[in-house]
Amino acid sequence: MRPREEVPSGRRGGRGRRGVVRNAPLRTHWLLLTVLVLTLAGTLLIQGYTQHMFGVGDDAAGSGQGPADRVPAAVAHGGPVIDTAVTPTRTARPKPHTIALTFDDGPDPRWTPRILAVLRRHHVHATFFVVGTEVAAHPALARQILADGNQIGIHTFTHANLGRIPAWQRSLELREAQLALAGATGRTSSLLRPPYSSVNDALSDRDWDAVEAAGQHGYLTVLTTLDSEDWQRPGVGAIVAHATPHGSAGQILLMHDGGGDRAQTVAALDRLLPRLTARGYRFATVSDAVGAARVVRPAGAGDHRLGLALIGTLDASGWVLRVLGWLLLAAGGLAVLRAAAVVVAARRHARRRGRAWGPPVVEPVSVIVPAFNESAGIEAAVRSLLASDHPVEVIVVDDGSTDGTADLVESLRLPYVRVIRQANAGKPAALNTGVAAASFELLVMVDGDTVFEPDAVRALVQPFADPRVGAVSGNAKVVNRRGLLGRWQHIEYVVGFNLDRRLFDLGQCMPTVPGAVGAFRRGALLRVGGVSDETLAEDTDLTMALCRDGWRVVYEQDAVAWTEAPASLGALWRQRYRWCYGTLQAMWKHRRAVAATGQAGKLGRRGLLYLLLFQVLLPLVAPVVDVFAVYGLVFLDPVRIIGLWLGFLLLQAVISAYAFRLDGERMGPLWTLPLQQFLYRQLMYLVVIQSVATALAGTRLRWQRMERYGSLTVPPGPAGPLPSGPLPAGPAPYVPPSHPPNGPALYVPPAGPAPRPGLAGSRPDEARGAAGTGDVTYPWGGRTPGLYGGDDHAPRSYGPGPGGGV
């Protein structure tokens, strides 16, 4: 938990220690984040479309399928080069004893250079039908193809089957392929070989539609007459046999320089070329073989620039995807590492439960309740404290409330309760006022919207039997658990906050004692200068200061307090935004602990590193997991993606169930865990992103008070009268001595002021809101009656009596 208070309007601006600090709301980072999200979405769409929507497959996969009623007979039985831009459609055949050697699916960085080397060795030119995405990935190879005197044509942008895609996508495939070629080589080509095409009489009606559409864009469609079938990798001998023509008719021979392992193609080509040359065949490009006019021309300046932009975009999107892949590994590794760490630590911490810290601590405790407009819950909070089974005095510091908080507390006329009024100065100032007025050495600090279990104070102060302990963190639980938002926060408190605190306790690096339920040595507080107002997370700042001063801070899970959680998304956002931003401030303020020794070094190298890795970096990179999940569902194998997500969810469920069992919670709310992963987790990621952006921009936030909902109700019964006699004055100001030679761990603060007469042994029944003990009962499980606003707000382990759980 973090504080919930606001500073007066007069303190919202001003000058920091290093100059003017901007207080205006940060808006630029949301614009940048929107641009980043849109850019990332566009990048992934480009990568998904170009790399996963289509792919190189067997050339026979799409040929000869479907009716062919609309294919003209002159085309079905004509030449392999088809021009539909004229009426009637014309076809052309290669000249006799002429072979137009063609290669599809490249350029490939491994196989295309080897094929070019074979062609150069045998002084042969060929035509390469290139895939646009491969040209963009390997532009130098496209230039080398032309530099060697070969011809180039397009094979679409992504190797899509033109007969099976809509007209808009067909135009996109042709246009983008042409731009990629123009950007890489400065040339355009009017030669097109549709993927999955073969011979003329294999054209279907859908294929013919694509051929006609290509003609309208000025393309000559080039089919084949002879297929080497090298795409099947049948062996070098079989490829040579398939590629050897019978008779003297001219041929357009199909081979491949990309799309897979082409070692057999290279070997077969080196054997085929001299054999066919010896038989009187000559090799030519497609245009030379059929006598076509110039088909490769210089690209216009506009197309060349657009092509360069396309290649740059594809290259950048590839790098972005690779970076996202690294971040995905980092996020997965951090998540698994954190899961393993908190589970192992929780098991070890649970074994220590019930261990005595030393002789029982029975001295009275001063409870400080800073209050600003807390009238909705202050009565329940104060009565729960007075119902403690440990002697307490309660000091309510009214920090300039405007809703009658102080008047309400005074009207209750409860014993051992003091009300101190001050002008609004913020929660740190209110806490320091309470510390100065406290009658005892042990202090408990509690928010005004929090109620304590009857044994919470006693459990909270027992670790102070160890003189090295300077502060104790209690176990804060959510009381308003109705609805999805309440259940999600309940899960977060049990699984996130409490598991982390167990780990921090074992590592002796506790960074935060929550404002809702924490205990401190008064001497330790004064020794570090009291509660600072330099950050928005004064509880974290104070805890880190105590650790750096040599004090141990521990976690006591049996000290249970119930607090209201935000009941709206807006309130939740404001609360967590301030928490996260304040934590970043505290981490930066205490960053030098990383290089310290002793207890301070443990905070720096364990606590701060953990916060940096798992509460800052992990939320920043974790959205990559969700981005890739969406990307995988659209472009990859959805079954595999769903399986991975279910595995991640199962891991979360196991950890959550274990944490609930350790905290004695019923498992019912865990049914909302999958929804929490979809919605709540993303909200928390955005909180961290905004907080980091705010911190980097140097913007200063103001306090924002959380709305109270009145979920906590007071016990029934009349209020008791105030005890006779004046309340004692607070202790004299404490002056901390210099640090002893052996370090602060051996330092024992001076004893607190003498307890008020009668308080240590008194358990006034009227403090519990009843006239006598007969009017108050405490059911099994330690529940304080009436404090939870009805059974629906209490955990199942609390109820009206044995066997009557909620």
Per-residue pLDDT band for 762 (boundaries 50, 70, 90) equals very low
What's the pLDDT tens digit per position in 685-707?
888 888 888 887 766 555 445 45
Nearest-angstrom CA–CA distance, 317 and 269: 36
Q: Is the pLDDT of residue 767 over 80?
A: no
Q: Is the pLDDT of residue 583 over 60?
A: yes
449's tokens: 């919207």
Average pLDDT in the 491-504 region? Answer: 89
Q: Is the pLDDT of residue 607 over 80?
A: yes
**Least reliable range by pLDDT among 601-615, 628-642, 745-759, 777-791:** 777-791
Q: Is the pLDDT of residue 771 over 50?
A: no
28 Cβ contact partners less than 8 Å away, ≥ 6 residues apart: 697
Task: Quote the percentage of the chain above a pLDDT of 90.
Answer: 53
Q: Would you state the pLDDT for residue 170?
A: 93
Q: Is the pLDDT of residue 318 over 80?
A: yes
- Whether 372 and 401 have beta carbons less than 8 Å apart is answered as yes
Q: Would you state the pLDDT for residue 115?
A: 97
The model's pTM is 0.68
- Whether 74 and 213 have beta carbons less than 8 Å apart is answered as no
Q: Is the pLDDT of residue 614 over 70?
A: yes
Q: Would you state the pLDDT for residue 28?
A: 60
Average pLDDT in the 439-453 region? Answer: 93
Q: Would you state the pLDDT for residue 632?
A: 81
Q: Is the pLDDT of residue 298 over 50?
A: yes
DSSP reduced 3-state for 81: strand
- Whether 794 and 775 have beta carbons less than 8 Å apart is answered as no
Q: Would you state the pLDDT for residue 528?
A: 93
Q: Would you state the pLDDT for residue 55?
A: 58
Average pLDDT in the 523-538 region? Answer: 92
Per-residue pLDDT band for 674 (boundaries 50, 70, 90) equals confident
Q: Is the pLDDT of residue 669 over 70?
A: yes
Q: Is the pLDDT of residue 210 over 80?
A: yes
Q: Is the pLDDT of residue 529 over 50?
A: yes
Per-residue pLDDT band for 193 (boundaries 50, 70, 90) equals very high
Better-predicted residue by pLDDT, 53 or 303: 303
Nearest-angstrom CA–CA distance, 177 and 131: 7
Q: Would you state the pLDDT for residue 526?
A: 93
Average pLDDT in the 100-118 region? Answer: 96
Q: Would you state the pLDDT for residue 629?
A: 80
Residue where the block lists tokens 């102060």:
461
353's tokens: 């439960």
Q: Would you state the pLDDT for residue 702?
A: 52
Per-residue pLDDT band for 708 (boundaries 50, 70, 90) equals low
Average pLDDT in the 81-90 region? Answer: 91
Q: Is the pLDDT of residue 79 over 50?
A: yes
Catalytic residue among 155, 242, 256, 304: 256
Q: Would you state the pLDDT for residue 146?
A: 96
Q: Is the pLDDT of residue 293 over 90?
A: no
600's tokens: 């301070």
Per-residue pLDDT band for 294 (boundaries 50, 70, 90) equals confident
**β-pair type (552-563, 450-452):** antiparallel
DSSP result, 618-652: HHHHTHHHHHHHHHHHHHS-HHHHHHHHHHHHHHH
Catalytic residue among 104, 399, 505, 549: 104
- Whether 526 and 447 have beta carbons less than 8 Å apart is answered as no
What is the DSSP-derived secondary structure letter of residue 699?
B
What's the pLDDT tens digit per position in 715-732?
333 233 333 344 344 333
**Least reliable range by pLDDT among 10-14, 258-262, 331-335, 746-750:** 746-750
Average pLDDT in the 398-402 region? Answer: 93
- Whether 298 and 187 have beta carbons less than 8 Å apart is answered as yes
Residue where the block lists tokens 């098991």:
347
Averaged pLDDT score across all residues of the chain: 81
Q: Would you state the pLDDT for residue 321?
A: 81
**β-pair type (220-222, 191-192):** parallel
Tell me if residue 104 is catalytic.
yes
Per-residue pLDDT band for 387 (boundaries 50, 70, 90) equals very high
